[in-house]
Amino acid sequence: MKERIPDGLRELLAQAAGAGQVPWRNLLKPGDWLLLVCSAALVTASYPLLWRGGVADRAIVKRDGQLVTELALNAPRKYEVTGAIGTTVIEVQPGRARVLSDPGPRQYCVQQGWLTRANAVAICAPNHVTLQLSGRSGQNGGYDTLNY
Amino acid sequence: MTPSTIELPVTVDDYRIARYAAAAIALSVAEAALPSPLPGIKPGLANIIVLVVLARYGWRDAAWVSLLRVVAGSLVIGQFLAPGFFLALAGALCSLAVLALAQHLPLRFFGPVSASVLAAFAHIGGQLVLARVWLVPHDGVWYLLPLFATAALLFGTINGLVAARLLDLPVAPKAAT
């Protein structure tokens, strides 16, 4: 096979493979290494900064805007709040929370399902009860919800 | 054949810039055929040419090649004045601005790889800012930043190494003598 390759092409291939040239790492100067290491560190740091900020760790239950309780999202439990027209049941599981049942006529907050991101909120307006998740860092507090 | 009545004086500089711009356009058209995992993540091979021109002939020529590449490349692909064209233009302008500063880095310590990585970061920076301001007016755009930054670091390094290797070779048979 090898004999069939024309000399010109073989020379070109050898050149492409780097024969008779300085190795790749010699093309990098000290400042280049420094810049690469710094950039790699910054890029790595940007992942947790931008992606983990939204993890929720507490559920905040309010009635008429007044804080009723704060539930930690690390163990499964249920919590009942008595509101204006009945009892709203909040269910908490590790990392998420939802309104399990509500006396409201349209059931919007129940149908919203599990809340997982920080600052997500389910509002049971007829019963004057809200369930909100809160995150570790306050940096991403600017969002109400995020839609895609 | 109709004889041309308008003669535009063409300088040696024009020929040189046109030759490099043609190479850059060819690379960006070839690259458009590559599948991409996420819109906007591309190797940016044409930037190799821009880096080589920057090192050999200075920032002015590099700017010409880069902007000609954006305009003519988008004409060839058929996306001139489409959103992708403006994103490419914003990226090219930002990276040219950064290259204008980066060319003053001491040559003893910084090679084409530094210029390439910095330009790549500026490229995604410009694109993301334009996308945030104009195309997707929502802060959710920033969630893509880590992915774009990773791609910029990776492709910036590779492009820089290729440019360094090309600059390491003898310029041309004519000039080498």
pLDDT of residue A9: 75
- Using one digit for the tens of pLDDT, what is the confidence trace for A58-99? 899 999 989 999 888 888 999 999 989 999 999 999 888 999
Q: Nearest by CB to B146, which of A35, A43, A143?
A: A43
- We report the CATH number of the domain holding residue B75 as 1.10.1760.20
Beta strands in chain B (DSSP E): none
Residue B67: inside a domain, yes or no?
yes
Q: Going from the N-terminus, what domains does chain A have, and what CATH number goes with each?
A: 2-51 (no CATH), 56-135 (2.60.320.10)
Give the range of the structural domain holding residue B28, as residue numbers without chain letter.
13-170
Q: What angle do CA B76, B78, B84 make, to 5 degrees?
A: 110
Q: What whole-number distance in Å separates Cα of residue A15 and Cα of residue B134?
A: 46
If you count residue pairs, one on A and one on B, with CB atoms under 8 Å apart, how many are there? Answer: 68
Residue B10 CB contacts under 8 Å (≥ 6 apart), including other chains: none
Residue B2: inside a domain, yes or no?
no
Q: Nearest by CB to B145, which of A32, A46, A148?
A: A46
pLDDT at A138 over 60: no
Q: How many domains does chain B have?
A: 1
Mutate to test the interface with A, among B121, B141, B165 (most CBs of A within 10 A): B165
Whether residues A31 and B110 touch (CB distance < 8 A) is answered with yes
Helix (H, G, I), strand (E, B) or coil at A117: strand
What average pLDDT values come out for chain B (177 residues) when binned by 10 residues?
Answer: 79 93 93 82 92 94 96 92 92 95 90 95 94 84 88 95 86 47
Q: Which helix (H) or strand (E) holds A10?
A: helix A7-16
Mutate to test the interface with A, among B109, B123, B138 (most CBs of A within 10 A): B109
Helix (H, G, I), strand (E, B) or coil at A96: strand
Question: Residue A49's closest chain B neighbor by CA?
Answer: B146
Whether residues A32 and B149 touch (CB distance < 8 A) is answered with no
